[in-house]
């Protein structure tokens, strides 16, 4: 099996008696998003069993879509489109799913952009921000593994100098992936660490450096000052860096993710998003609402804790999984 689990297709002769377990990334994505899609599928099934698309049905549909965190704008667009094309006709839940998936793909296509590492930068510096527990360290570990496996030399910097456990966790990923980890004693200056990390990484001729950060939102002013200081310090070493600033968001927080984007955008120049824990939530629709509202690139999504559970974000696969369609 390849690293990303592609290529495990079921043969045409496979017995159809039992629902075959879907394999590969699409299967994983689909089962990861099962909580989100089953909420929607069940709701659509309840609404559209032999029902004409009248005003009341459209209103019910719009309400249902809003409860799945897709966002008011998306909900309105889908219902408007259906009102224009199918008003007064019988519609099935599957037809609604199809329209919904098409609308979601239209919204997500422009933001689905993989993280591109520029090999001419030595190192390409990726600063990773987000509130505590959103999945920053795990995401760094997963991205480190994938890039290391692709042949790049990768270093990790433990910029959350306040939490010993966070540093330890990054070290575990370092051991697991064979990537050096740069860390300092508890409470050390994170900006100083970032500076040293770039210097060390550059001296080694690394391709890629990930810098983890603390995400204590309890004191926004302190966090803002710390992140600004880290960025200033990085720029002293390399004025073109950081080349990417990834904001990691925990999808289980639902609508709260909107305010996190706003807060972090005020603090640093966020260049892209990673949505984690889509496997643990019925609120996966929030990604669509975020895309519509902010238009920030979505680089990757996480549907589990293993290295392979983080993948480049693809609009079509996500949309179909979210609405519970087959590939």
Query: CA of 242: how far to CAs of 63, 195, 302, in Å?
Result: 41, 11, 23
Pick between residue 109 and residue 305 the one whose CB is nearest to ligand GTP. Answer: 305
Cβ partners under 8 Å of residue 211, min gap 6: 125, 126, 127, 128, 157, 159, 194, 197, 230, 234, 242
Name the burial class of residue 196, with classes exposed (0-12), middle (13-18) and buried (19+) by CB atoms within 10 angstroms of its CB: middle
Pick between residue 65 and residue 300 the one whose CB is nearest to ligand GTP. Answer: 300
- Euclidean distance between CA atoms 37 and 27, whole angstroms: 13
Pick between residue 75 and residue 287 the one whose CB is nearest to ligand GTP. Answer: 287
Q: How far is the CB of 134 from ligand GTP (least distance, A)?
A: 4
Pick between residue 64 and residue 223 the one whose CB is nearest to ligand GTP. Answer: 223
Q: How far is the CB of 230 from ligand GTP (least distance, A)?
A: 15
Q: How far is the CB of 153 from ligand GTP (least distance, A)?
A: 22
Check whether 277 is labelled as a binding-site residue.
Answer: yes
Q: How far is the CB of 242 from ligand GTP (least distance, A)?
A: 17
Cis omega (within 30 of 0) on the bond before 20?
Answer: no
Cβ partners under 8 Å of residue 15, min gap 6: none
Check whether 132 is labelled as a binding-site residue.
Answer: yes
Cis omega (within 30 of 0) on the bond before 242?
Answer: yes
Helix (H, G, I), strand (E, B) or coil at 57: helix
Site for ligand GTP, rule CB under 6 A: 130, 132-138, 160, 166, 169, 215, 276-277, 279-280, 302-305, 309
Q: How far is the CB of 143 from ligand GTP (least distance, A)?
A: 12
Pick between residue 75 and residue 157 the one whose CB is nearest to ligand GTP. Answer: 157
Q: How far is the CB of 305 from ligand GTP (least distance, A)?
A: 4
Check whether 135 is labelled as a binding-site residue.
Answer: yes
Check whether 136 is labelled as a binding-site residue.
Answer: yes
Check whether 213 is labelled as a binding-site residue.
Answer: yes
Pick between residue 93 and residue 303 the one whose CB is nearest to ligand GTP. Answer: 303
Check whether 133 is labelled as a binding-site residue.
Answer: yes
Check whether 216 is labelled as a binding-site residue.
Answer: yes
Instruction: Please provide the size of the chain in residues.
Output: 327
Closest-by-Cβ residue to ligand GTP is 302
Q: How far is the CB of 165 from ligand GTP (least distance, A)?
A: 7
Check whether 130 is labelled as a binding-site residue.
Answer: yes
Beta carbons of 126 and 209 less than 8 angstroms apart: yes
Beta carbons of 249 and 272 less than 8 angstroms apart: no
CB atoms within 10 A of CB 275: 27
Pick between residue 97 and residue 277 the one whose CB is nearest to ligand GTP. Answer: 277
Long-range pairs, 98-104, Cβ under 8 A, ≥24: 98/325, 100/40, 100/65, 100/323, 101/319, 101/320, 101/322, 101/323, 101/325, 102/319, 103/74, 103/77, 103/78, 104/70, 104/74, 104/288, 104/315, 104/318, 104/319, 104/322, 104/323
Query: Residues at the annotated binding site?
Result: 130-137, 212-216, 276-279
Query: Residues at the annotated binding site for GTP?
Result: 130-137, 212-216, 276-279
């Amino acid at each position: 099996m390849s690293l990303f689990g592609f290529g495990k297709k079921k043969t045409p002769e496979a017995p159809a008696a039992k629902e075959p377990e879907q394999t590969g990334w699409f299967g994983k994505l689909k089962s990861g998003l099962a909580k989100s899609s089953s909420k929607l599928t069940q709701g659509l099934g309840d609404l559209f069993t032999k029902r004409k698309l009248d005003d009341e049905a459209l209103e019910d549909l719009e309400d249902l879509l809003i409860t799945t965190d897709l966002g008011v704008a998306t909900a309105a667009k889908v219902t408007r489109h259906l009102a224009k094309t199918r008003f007064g006709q019988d519609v099935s839940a599957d037809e609604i799913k199809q329209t919904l998936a098409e609308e979601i793909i239209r919204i997500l296509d422009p933001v689905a952009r993989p993280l591109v590492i520029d090999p001419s930068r030595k190192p390409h510096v990726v600063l990773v921000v987000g509130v505590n527990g959103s999945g920053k360290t795990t995401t760094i570990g997963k991205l480190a593994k994938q890039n290391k496996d692709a042949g790049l030399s990768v270093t990790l910097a433990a910029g959350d100098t306040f939490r010993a456990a966070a540093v330890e966790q990054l070290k575990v990923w370092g051991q697991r992936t064979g990537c050096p980890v740069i860390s300092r004693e508890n409470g050390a200056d994170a900006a100083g660490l970032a500076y040293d990390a770039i210097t060390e990484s550059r001296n080694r001729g690394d391709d890629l450096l990930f810098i983890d950060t603390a995400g204590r939102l309890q004191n926004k002013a302190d966090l803002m000052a710390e992140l600004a200081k880290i960025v200033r310090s990085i720029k002293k070493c390399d004025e073109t860096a950081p080349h990417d600033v990834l904001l990691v968001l925990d999808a289980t927080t639902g609508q709260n993710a909107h305010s996190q984007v706003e807060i972090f955008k005020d603090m640093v120049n966020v260049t892209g998003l990673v949505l984690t824990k889509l496997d643990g939530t019925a609120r996966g629709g929030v990604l669509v609402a975020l895309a519509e509202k902010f238009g920030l690139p979505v680089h990757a999504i996480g549907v589990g804790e293993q290295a392979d559970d983080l993948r480049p974000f693809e609009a079509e696969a996500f949309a179909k999984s979210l609405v519970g369609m087959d590939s």
